[in-house]
Structure 1
Amino acid sequence: MIIARSPLRVSFFGGGSDLPAYFSEQPGCVVSTTIDLAVETVLRPRARGGVRVVTDGVQTADVPSGIEHDFVREALLNDDPRTPLDVSIHSDVRSSGTGLGTSGAVVTSLVAALAALRGVELDPAELAATASEIEMVRCGRSVGLQDQTASAHGGLRRYDFGTDGTTSTTRVDMPAAAHSELQASLVLVDTLIGRDAGTQLSHQSRTIARPGGSRARVTRMVEMARAMHDELVAGRIDSFGAALHEAWTLKAQVLGATASPVVDLYEHGRRLGATGGKLLGAGGGGHMLFVVPPERRAGFVEDVGAHRVVPFRFSEEGTRVRVA
């Protein structure tokens, strides 16, 4: 049995600049961290032949091309395993529409597990590149590069996306005290609204590419990502909430979101004492991250609803594979 565990991520700054529509013309930059919530893919030999896939449902097919789940089907066709398999995918959060990079983690864990089945251990860059190829090209999804890259590498990092299609990663080495203080200030809230990230990102790609579209606002997000990387390395986190608030404002303009239950939740969080926050992922739903002074955290959680607050911690690990 092979188990591949790929972490989810919380993206802080630079979202949208990892889309080809943006970085094909000017470099992108994202600052994000992986967290201790993850997706696991489990592979087991199957005695009865064919492929059995367990995700939100169960499907059995004689050959990989008969699998309906596009990520599983295309990962299997890309890797072409020679043995019948049981493929089970488990997530610590709901399987889609979370804003936490779930789909990227699913594909990354699949690629890592299938490589391990062949006795191969992919390095993080190769793992991210293969997972991105499957999701973006083979599955035709209008997503960016950050989710697979973060899930493969792990940790609090800066990712730079070059116009030539290359990605470079830099670990954000914060002072320990500032790192702990930042983590203690973050509250993750489930909006209880799902959405299709591919649809949202397809819309965002079109607005970036359109003359007079959102490129200038994404460029400002890139500038913020680079500046906040330097602030975090220096251990200066006092401006973190205000910077996220500016990023929230810019993202709302990019997405054209000015009135919705998500906007209402954000404004409610600000009234409760949050200094800033952001909607994670492509927009429209998923999870919202707030920066809350530690002394106001208990009251904030109680008012928002403890059932909606998702406990998490930063994680330094990227995708890991073990054989059981």
Structure 2
Amino acid sequence: MNATTLPRLAVTAGEPAGVGPELLARLAASDIAADLVAVTDRDLLRRAAIACGLELDILDDDGTRIASRPAGRIRVRHLALGNREAPGRPDPRNARHVLDMLAAAADGCLAGDFDAVVTGPVQKSSINEAGIPFSGHTEFFAERASADVVMMLASPDLRVTLATTHLPLSAVPAAITPALLERTLRIVGSALASQFGIAHPRIAVLGLNPHAGEGGHMGREEIETIGPLLERLRGEAMDLLGPLPADTAFVPAMRGRYDAVLAMYHDQALPVLKSEAFDSTVNVTLGLPFIRTSVDHGTALDLAGTGKASPASLFAAARLATDLVRHRSQS
């Protein structure tokens, strides 16, 4: 990308039987200042546009960069479906198509053909039913790029990262190690500087226990693991707050003190984020050699084919991707 061309975004449609294709059609109809390249089946996208009552100008992608894009125009990197979609009914015969979309988008970013990838929601169960082990976008891209990654959920007012993701609560304390926390904080700090343009990132680190352990009376992880690690990293000039009690870390008076939060487990922070910004929260994968943003919702199979699904999260993901591309080009 240069000063005269638009950020070139590869946008994957996600599960063909879900709402992703319709959300992509609505994104194409918008006037977002980005060069949108749909990585999907062109006929699937046409059918999704019809379901939404939209007329799109769908062109094959020739790889060139453009300086402007009229609303309603989108280019397509065509990948044929394995079987025509039935809205609301995922078909394992399309599992390979879904993975080929992700691979094409990631490889295009690694080759410099795209500036970022924006992903629609996938149906993990359908891919696994096809006999293909798949745990999620984040893990797929990490393996494809041979990268160590961290999940961030970002809204207009809050950025949350996770030390652990999809673990049962009983397994979390043993997973919180100095090595894990150090790796995560280094990735988050580096990404805040390089992708978000924050020269001196400030990261709030939550404790594991209620009241951050209350001096050891409610648990000792803060005293024995989290606190000592933070002190060591502060010695390297990292700006780290904590360990903080989770029940007060998100109050308005605190938010001005940090640029991102590191939570110890999934439900420690995400309910706060989703309760106040569900439609504008974006999933960002930190640590990749390319920018990846995503909707923060599922395939909504009950709405597929109706044209009624809200595109707000996909719009937010695409806008954030364009902002991050511009931050990177200016750094």
TM over 0.5: no
TM-score bin (small chain): 0.3 to 0.5
